[in-house]
Structures are given as C-alpha cells and as structure tokens.
A and B are shown apart, each in its own frame.
Chain A
Amino acid sequence: MPATENTLTVLRPRPVAPPRRTAPGGTARGRGRGRRRRTAAVAGPLSAVTLVLCLWQLVCVLNLSATLPTPAAVGHDLAAAWSSGALAPALLGSLRRCLAGFLASVAIGVPLGLLLSAAPVVRTPIAPVLSAIQSLPAAALVPVAVVGLGNSERAVYSVVLLGAVPAIAAGTLASLDQVPPLLRRAGRSMGAAGPAYVRHVLLPAALPGLLSALEQGWTFGWRALMTAELITATPLPGIGRLLDAGRKAGHLSQVLAATVVILAVGVLVESAVFAPLRRRALRQRGLTAP
C-alpha cells in the first residue's frame, strides 16, 4: 500500500530547533582527556625505546658481545647517513613504495574480503589459498616475482602486494564474520541494500577488526618490501638497500642503523596512525574508557 496522505503529513518536519553540535575543540574536560590520551600514546613507545637502548648499552658496557657497536656509534652512523644525503631518499623511497603498495592492497584486499564474506561459493576455494600465501615468507616470494617480472620495481611491488593483500583480505573476512547478525538484520530492515548496506552497516560494524587487518597488512607489506629491497638486484634507493650495503661492507654499525630505521618506521606508523584510529573506534563503541 502506498504511504497515505496522513502518514506523510504526520512525518513532515515540525519546527524543532536542531541541537547544536559541540563547539570545535570540545569542552575543557574533553580537551584534558585528549591531552592525557596523547601523552599516554607517546609515553608507551618512548619508554619501550628507552628500555631497549638501556639494555643495548648494558650489553656493550658489560662487553657481552665483542662485535656489537654501542647505541652512540649506531647513532653516529645514522647521523652520518643523514648528512651525506643517503638516508632521506632511501627512507622516502621505501615509504613511498610501501604506501603505494599498501593503498593498492587495501583497494584489492577489502573488496576481496567482502566478496568472500558474501559468497560462500567463492570463499570455500579462495580462503585456504589466502592462508597458504600468508604462511609463505616474503623471501620465498622474491624469486617468484623476479623470475616472473624481472629485476624491476614491479617485482618489488608484487612482493608487497603478495605480503599485504592476503593479510588484509583474510582480516577483513574475519572482522565481517564477527559482525553481530542483529545489526545486519537491523540494517536490512531499514532498507539498506547493496553498496549502502556495505557502507553504512557492514564496514562500520566491522571497523575495529578491519583496522587490525589494515595494520597487519601494512606490517606485512613493510616487511615484504624490506625483504624485496634487500634481495632483488634492482638498484632502488631504499632502506633495504642501505641494509644490504652495510652487510656487503661488513659494517655492523651501518646494518644496525638501517635496522633501527626499519623498526622506527614500524613503531611510528603504529603509534601515530593505527593506534589512534583503533582507540577512536573502540571509544565510539563504548569498548574502552573515555
């Protein structure tokens, strides 16, 4: 039956003043909470780095390893690499490659996860393949990529994709499996279908798990990129190449300097990008303290 005239009349908006949104910057209490959260976010990684540096220094002071350079020596090498102009292009090159590979992986992995979730016929054969690829170390993928695509940047990207796409697709699938059926039914009962259902119901409902999948995708992609840069003979400026140059020169301090940069990027991306997004998603859902 079409909507009656009466129903339309009743549902027409009456002049009720819409409530005001909270002013930009929020309340003083909200700002205080925000500052505390940011302090906690910085304090965590900072204390972990300090602890590692202290232990490292202790190993050197106690002379437990004859070959291990001190943190100061590695810091000196890092500073030298920066001032010589070798570090910045390497870091930017690796980050650019990882970001491009990650974005492409998201564009492939998330829709693939959605497809696998919606179509059991596709899921049955594809999901085990994704698990199998995830169990492969990136070092095993490099020869395949090099033989298939030659010693090129394309081969490096394909290794990043093979590292990140299965992690993102499998994580997306797992997060969609955990969406409460009641929320799905509520969405459908409201008339959400197709892309609107995915956008307004499925993806937001799966968001906390989805963010974990993206974070894992970034981590796998970054690790795969470092391996690819290290192993392939492609002369690309990158952190992996710096690491390889240090290895070839037998210069442990330079190797460790490159390792520190790889770790620092991992910690920074986690604490500056994924952790705040995850905290925000959980806070919105009442799953953490405000």
Chain B
Amino acid sequence: MGLLTVATTSAVIDLRGVTKSFDAAAPPAVEGIDLRIEAGEFVCLLGASGCGKSSLLNLIAGLDRPTAGQVTVPGRRPAVMFQDHALFPWLTVGRNVELALRLAKVPKAERRAEAARLLAAVRLGDAYERRVHELSGGMRQRTALARALAQGADCLLMDEPFAALDAVTRDLLHEELIRVRAEHRLTVVFVTHSVEEAARLGSRIVLLSANPGRIAHEWTVDLPYPRRAESPGVASLVHEITERLGEEIRRHARD
C-alpha cells in the first residue's frame, strides 16, 4: 500500500453475495459480489461501461437495495460524489456546503466558518458567494468534494467524478483528492472506466466483468503516493490491467 496505511483492519464496507436486478428478463446488473473494504483503503471499481460499477456504488451508498445478498456499512452514512456535480443550483457555493453541515447536525454558529474552511481545503476559499452556474467544471467538482467532506463521513463514494473534465483539470484533481483523502483519513471507493485513473489512485483495484457484473480480478497496489502517470510502476500496472480488461471485453463479446 502507499503512503497512507491505516492500522485498523475493521471493515467499513462489507458486501456478501450481493446481486442487483433491475429487470427480471435481463441479466442482473451485478451478481454474487463479495467485497470487503477496510478502513483507509482507496478501492477503484474498474470496468467497461454498463458493467454494474455505478449500481454497486449505489448499493453501498444505500440509494438502492440489493435483490439478494447483504450490504453492511457500519458507522456513518458514506458521502457520495456523482459524475455530474449534483450541487443545488439555488444555493451559493458556500450554502451548498453549509447545507451538508446542517444535515450532519453541525451547530448553526459553526457552519459558516466550517464551510469556509472546507472550501479553502479544496482551494475554493474565494468562491463562497458564487453561484454554481458561474463555476467551471473543475470548480464544481471541488465544491462537490467540499460538500462531501462536510458530511463528516469516514467513507467517500465517488462515481466517475472526473470523467467529464479535461485532462489537465482531472490531473490536478487527482492530486487534490490524494491530499484531501490523506488529511481526512478517508476510505474511498472510486468508480472509473479509466485504467490510468485507477492505477494512479487506487490502493486496490477491482476489475468488474459485464453482464452480469462480477468481480473478474483484483490488484493490490503498493506504489507510493503521489503517483505520476508516466512512472514505470504505474505504466507497468496500466499495461497489466489493460491486458486483463481486454481479455474480459473479448470474452464478453464472444458470449
């Protein structure tokens, strides 16, 4: 594992035999998933489009219920970041964060200062009074990250949060995420279809196959953070995962 090693081994997320079907006539979105995520892990759920990554994340977030199996998430409700920022457009940047604090039962007197601190932590200290529609895509996702942190959760679930951003902004936000995650000692479950993103961020990478979504392979990544995309370790890992992902896609195409 990388720089952040958390001593405790208590699982923050435990999935046992989890299956989710949306349509009885179609294959389940995910089937028979057994996954145990320990505190402090950065788990990337990787797979092609439609392999059930987001469905699995929604099950962990409690936004959907499994058709079969058991999802156990002891402790606080995990915070969720979506691909689209999902900020509330009727509130300013600061008020979006304040609302999360309010729902997390933070006393009123502390909310404004705490929201300002969290926005400063994602380098948006001067954007408090701005409207969501005035922000760039990267700034919106930074705000969404600050809002997620405001929930005071131990665990952050991220559903392709940087997929719609340009490469430079995405690169910057990867670094921000690694820093913020270390500062807040977060367990992260990160859904992505990008092998490079998974190799750069994950302390564990879980490859999902499609139709139905099953765990095809797992990698534990011992490379230290921060990781550069062009470093030999990351490049070699990307190559290995891409090979395996290609096999999965070819196998699925034959089926």
Interface residues of A (CB under 8 A from B): 1-4, 6-7, 10-11, 13-19, 21-22, 182-183, 185-186, 188-192, 196, 200-201, 204-205, 207, 281, 284-286
Contact yes or no, B84 A18, CB < 8 A: no
A-B contact sample (14 more), CB < 8 A, given A16-B117, A285-B90: A1-B75, A1-B154, A7-B152, A7-B185, A14-B117, A17-B116, A18-B128, A185-B63, A186-B82, A189-B62, A189-B77, A201-B88, A207-B90, A281-B90
Contact yes or no, B88 A3, CB < 8 A: no
Contact yes or no, A13 B110, CB < 8 A: yes
Contact yes or no, A189 B80, CB < 8 A: yes
A58: min CB distance to chain B, Å:
46
Measured between beta carbons, the chain B residues less than 8 angstroms from A188 are 63
Q: Is B230 an interface residue (CB 8 A)?
A: no
**5 cross-chain CB contacts under 8 A:** A10-B185, A11-B184, A19-B126, A183-B86, A284-B89
Contact yes or no, A182 B99, CB < 8 A: no
A254: min CB distance to chain B, Å:
47
Closest 7 CB pairs of A and B: A286-B133, A1-B75, A186-B86, A189-B80, A19-B128, A16-B117, A285-B89
Contact yes or no, B61 A3, CB < 8 A: no
Q: What's the Cα separation between A17 and B86 when bound, in Å?
A: 27
Q: Which of B10, B77, B133, B152 contacts A11 (CB 8 A)?
A: B152
Measured between beta carbons, the chain B residues less than 8 angstroms from A2 are 75-76
Q: What's the Cα separation between A201 and B128 when bound, in Å?
A: 20
Measured between beta carbons, the chain B residues less than 8 angstroms from A284 are 89-90, 131
Q: Which of B82, B120, B151, B183 contacts A185 (CB 8 A)?
A: B82
Q: How many residues of B contact A (CB 8 A)?
A: 50
Contact yes or no, A204 B90, CB < 8 A: yes
Measured between beta carbons, the chain A residues less than 8 angstroms from B152 are 3, 7, 11
Contact yes or no, A22 B103, CB < 8 A: no
Measured between beta carbons, the chain A residues less than 8 angstroms from B88 are 183, 186, 201, 204-205
B138: min CB distance to chain A, Å:
17
B158: min CB distance to chain A, Å:
12
With most chain A CB atoms within 10 A of its CB, the pick from B39, B61, B132, B154 is B154
Q: What's the Cα separation between A285 and B87 when bound, in Å?
A: 11
Q: What's the Cα separation between A11 and B120 when bound, in Å?
A: 13
Measured between beta carbons, the chain B residues less than 8 angstroms from A204 are 88, 90-91
Q: Is B79 an interface residue (CB 8 A)?
A: yes
Q: Is B255 an interface residue (CB 8 A)?
A: no
Contact yes or no, B100 A190, CB < 8 A: yes
Q: What's the Cα separation between A201 and B86 when bound, in Å?
A: 12
Measured between beta carbons, the chain B residues less than 8 angstroms from A205 are 88, 90
A101: min CB distance to chain B, Å:
29
Q: What's the Cα separation between A6 and B94 when bound, in Å?
A: 25
Q: Is B74 an interface residue (CB 8 A)?
A: yes
B159: min CB distance to chain A, Å:
10
Chain A residue with the shortest CB-CB distance to B8: A4
Contact yes or no, A13 B154, CB < 8 A: no
With most chain B CB atoms within 10 A of its CB, the pick from A17, A191, A205, A207 is A191
Measured between beta carbons, the chain B residues less than 8 angstroms from A189 are 61-63, 77, 79-80
Q: Is B175 an interface residue (CB 8 A)?
A: no
Residues 172-185 of B, flagged 1 when their CB comes within 8 A of A and 0 if not, give 00000000000111
Q: What's the Cα separation between A192 and B99 when bound, in Å?
A: 10
Known A10-B185, A18-B112, A191-B104: A286·B132 in contact at CB below 8 Å = yes
